[in-house]
Each structure stands twice: as structure tokens, then as C-alpha cells.
Amino acid sequence: MSDLSGTARLLLGMIHVKGRRTGYDIKRLVEVSTRFFWAASPGQIYPELKRLESEGLLTRSEEPHGGRARNVYTATDEGEQELHGWLTESADPVFEMRNEGLLKLFFADSLNTEEQIEVVRAMRAQQEAILDGIRKATPPYRPDRKFGYIAWLYGLGIHGWTIEWCKQLEADLAEGRVPQGLQESDASQTR
Amino acid sequence: MSDLSGTARLLLGMIHVKGRRTGYDIKRLVEVSTRFFWAASPGQIYPELKRLESEGLLTRSEEPHGGRARNVYTATDEGEQELHGWLTESADPVFEMRNEGLLKLFFADSLNTEEQIEVVRAMRAQQEAILDGIRKATPPYRPDRKFGYIAWLYGLGIHGWTIEWCKQLEADLAEGRVPQGLQESDASQTR
DNA sequence: ATACTCATGTAAGCTGTTACATGATTCT
DNA sequence: AGAATCATGTAACAGCTTACATGAGTAT
């Protein structure tokens, strides 16, 4: 047991937290909540739900709405245990980041100042778009979903921090100033 | 042109910045620099270098060291143009994050307080390990690699911020305090 | 002698996305 | 009537990791 994919855990968690859900429900939930730290596409959600059903972690009930098919999933006891086991296990969690803006910045030495500033601005614009998406998805405050709120606050904080960092860097570059933090290393290098 | 993968861009950039390089060189460079915002494994690097060669963006020269094979790659003019085109293009850059610690936190409502704190602590421990890795990889200060340094500073900042955020949350949870930012929403909810 | 680093690669497999296909219901 | 949303799914493909395989040179 417990060789579930991260996405399987996400589905289990969503169903636990929100109760009985369809694949479509989960897809929308992900879009307004975990999207920025754990994405999942429909091409992944539907097959994975089936797999979890076949493994006995979810049960499916067909509840068509008029002539429209609808599969509502519920967690089994085993599913709940699996979720709890994952939440309390002590394996180091996955952390992966792909930040193309930062990668460009890393290689920006050969550009002229305007181009460099443009790279930072593009990186900031993207972070602003993400922050906007998070802001718009304000979770309603519910005492039983404190941690949904906390994760949301983290999103605001981390992307807000990055935006401020970018602004500072843009200003430094525009004014030909040495970016913060380089002074000390300037001082420590002798030749 | 310009349908290169992100990893191809990484290789092009590394070769531009560092000059003639072997796949092994790049592998090690990635491990101490871009790893935390753009990873690349050897199973990807070697085939991609070949592909870039066959597309005329890199040239390969066989320079065995004793009986040990060695392929040294250099960027062609086309490769340099490709790199510059990417750095200055205005397409919104890739940003992806998979943060399992945060995902656990998102689902932590059903845990007891000790377990909740443990989730945060695990998330922090991981960020501390990453910060440590970044710190150890201090890039030597070189005026022509200012942006390598800037990206490094960003790494220190962003992971440092997250660590402080986790500490604050741990303290709040331990003392049964309502986490920062929840007060306002507490006030706004009437019942 | 032995272990470590240099050096290159391949194969299997997993994860995930994109794009497409289908069709019903509800809103305007 | 037409558009948007609800709802489910598949197929093709891209990207990446892990593990393995191989072997030479270098440092202890």
C-alpha cells in the first residue's frame, strides 16, 4: 500500500474535505485552490478516479442528472486511512519548481540594461497574474477549513514577496545601482 | 525555429555563459546553480546535447582525456541567436510548482494539533535543506556573472521567507493562536 | 588496493499535458 | 437560438526520472 501518486492523494484529499464529488467538481476545485502548488488536468483526474475506485479507496455511484452522466465519488474507510497515513508519514515531501523567468534572469548578463529590466518585468508580470488568480479565489472562511485559508495566505505571501523583490531589482537596474546583497560580496573580493 | 524545450535552453545558456563544456560539466553546474528552479538529469542532458548538435545550434569536438571519451560542446552563431531570441521574447514564461508540504498543509484540518505542527515542521525542514544547498553553492563573485549572483540571492530570499513563515505558523499553532491574517476574516464573519 | 570522480550513455517507465470527441442542460 | 457550462473521457505525445551499464583516470 501507499504507493499512490501525488495526484491520487490530491483527489483523496479533495473528496475527504469536500465530501462526495464528481471528477468535474474536483477539476474546478483544483483550478481555484491547489492549482499553483499542485496542478491536475482532466486527462489525469478521470483515469485516476477510476484507478482509486478499483483499488477500493473510493466508491463510485452513478447519479445521472437528466440524460447527463455523472459519477459521484466517496472515500472508503481505507481511502480515509490512506489519506491520514500520507498526511502523517515522515518522508520528505516533493518540492519541484520550474521558473523560466528566473532561468532567463540567470542568463541575463549578455543583455543590455533595457532588455534585462524587461526580463525582470516579465517575471514580475507573471507573478502578479498568479497573485491575482489566488486573490480572486478567496476561500470562504470556515472554521473547519482553516488550513485551506492558511495555504491561501501562503500563496499571497510568497508571490507578493517575489513581486516586491522584482520591483526592487527593476529599480536598481534602472538606476544603474548595484543590486542589494552584492555590496558585501564586492567588499569581500580583494582583487 | 524556436520550438526548443526549456532544458535545451538551459544547455544553450550554460554553454554560452561558461564557454566550451561537456555534458558532465553541465550536469555538475546545474546541481549547484539552477537545480532548485530548473532541474535537469543526465538522462536528459546527453540526448539533448546531441539533438542540439544535429540542429546546428551546438558543435561537438571529441577531446578524449587519455582513454576516456570526452565531448566538448560549443555554441554556434545560430545557437547564440537562439539563446538571445529566447531571452528577449515576450511569451509568458513557464512557472510550475509542486509543493507536497503545502498540499499536506492544505488538507491538515482533520489532524490533531501535534500532527499539524509536524506537517509544518516537515515543510520547513525541507525548505531549510534547500536553503542550505543554495548557501553552499555560493557563486564566486564575477562582474560578468552578476545575474548568476542575483538569481542566487533570490533563492536565499524566497526560501528564507518561507522558513520564517513556517516558524511563525508553528508558533501560532503551538500556542493555540489564530494564525495571522485569519483575525480579519474572523471579524467579518457574523455567526 | 580501493574508492571516488570523470565521462557517456540507454532503456523502461511514470507523470502529465494538449487536443480532441461527445453530448446534455442551463442561461441569456 | 445560441452560448456557456456541466460532464466524461481518450489518444497522442512530451518530458523527465531512475536505474542500469560501462569503463578510464585519480587520489588515498
> Does residue B191 carry a pLDDT above 60?
no
| Test mutation, A26, A38, A90, A102, chain B, max B CBs within 10 A | A102
Q: Which residue has its C-alpha nearest to nucleotide D20's C1'?
A: B43
**What is the CB-side half-sphere exposure of residue A91 using CA atoms within 13 A?**
10
- Say whether residue A158 is in contact with chain B using an 8 A CB cutoff: yes
Gap from A100 CA to C9 C1', Å: 27
Per the CB < 8 Å rule, is B101 touching A88?
A: no
Q: For B168-185, write each residue's pLDDT tens digit.
A: 999 999 999 867 666 544
Cβ atoms of A62 and A71 within 8 Å: the answer is yes
- Point out which residues pair with B95 in neighbouring strands: A99
Per the CB < 8 Å rule, is A98 touching B103?
A: no
Strands (E), chain A: 58-62, 71-75, 95-99
Q: Work out the average pLDDT over B33-56.
A: 97
- Between A and B, how many residue pairs show a Cβ–Cβ distance under 8 A? 221
- Point out which residues pair with A74 in neighbouring strands: A59
Q: Work out the average pLDDT over A103-127.
A: 98
pLDDT of residue B186: 40
Gap from A64 CA to D7 C1', Å: 10
pLDDT of residue A139: 82
Range ranked top by mean pLDDT from A86-100, A135-149, B130-144? A86-100
Rounded to a whole number of angstroms, the distance from the CA of B42 to the nearest CA of chain A is: 17
Query: Of A62-66, A117-121, A135-139, B43-47, where does mean pLDDT reach its minimum?
Result: A135-139
**What is the CB-side half-sphere exposure of residue A31 using CA atoms within 13 A?**
9
Question: What whole-number distance in Å separates Cα of residue A74 and Cα of residue A60?
Answer: 7
Q: Which three cell numbers mark B76?
A: 554556434
Higher model confidence: residue B163 or residue A188? B163
A65 touches strand C (CB under 7 A): yes
Cβ atoms of B134 and B159 within 8 Å: the answer is yes
- Point out which residues pair with A68 in neighbouring strands: A65
B98 touches strand C (CB under 7 A): yes
In this structure, chain B runs to a length of 191
Question: Mean pLDDT, chain A, as a whole number?
Answer: 92
- Point out which residues pair with A95 in neighbouring strands: B99
Helix (H) or strand (E) holding B58, with range, is strand B58-62
Longest dimension (CA), chain A: 78
Cβ atoms of A123 and A104 within 8 Å: the answer is yes
pLDDT of residue B180: 63
A87 → chain B, closest CA residue: B104
Per the CB < 8 Å rule, is A39 touching B96?
A: yes
Q: Which three cell numbers mark A70?
A: 455523472
Q: Which three cell numbers mark A171?
A: 529599480
| CA distance from start to end of chain B | 60
A49 touches strand D (CB under 7 A): yes
- Say whether residue B116 is in contact with chain A using an 8 A CB cutoff: yes
Gap from B126 CA to C3 C1', Å: 30
Q: For A151-163, write each residue's pLDDT tens digit.
A: 999 999 999 999 9
Which of residues 38-57 of A have CB within 7 Å of strand C? 39-44
Protein-covered nucleotides on strand D (Cβ within 7 A)? 6-12, 14-20, 23-26
Confidence of residue B141 (pLDDT cuts 50, 70, 90): confident
B-chain residues near A117 (CB < 8 A) = none
| Amino acid at the residue A137 | A
Question: What whole-number distance in Å separates Cα of residue B2 and Cα of residue A188?
Answer: 41
Q: Which three cell numbers mark A46?
A: 478521470
Which of residues 148-187 of B have CB within 7 Å of strand D? none
Cβ atoms of B88 and A115 within 8 Å: the answer is yes
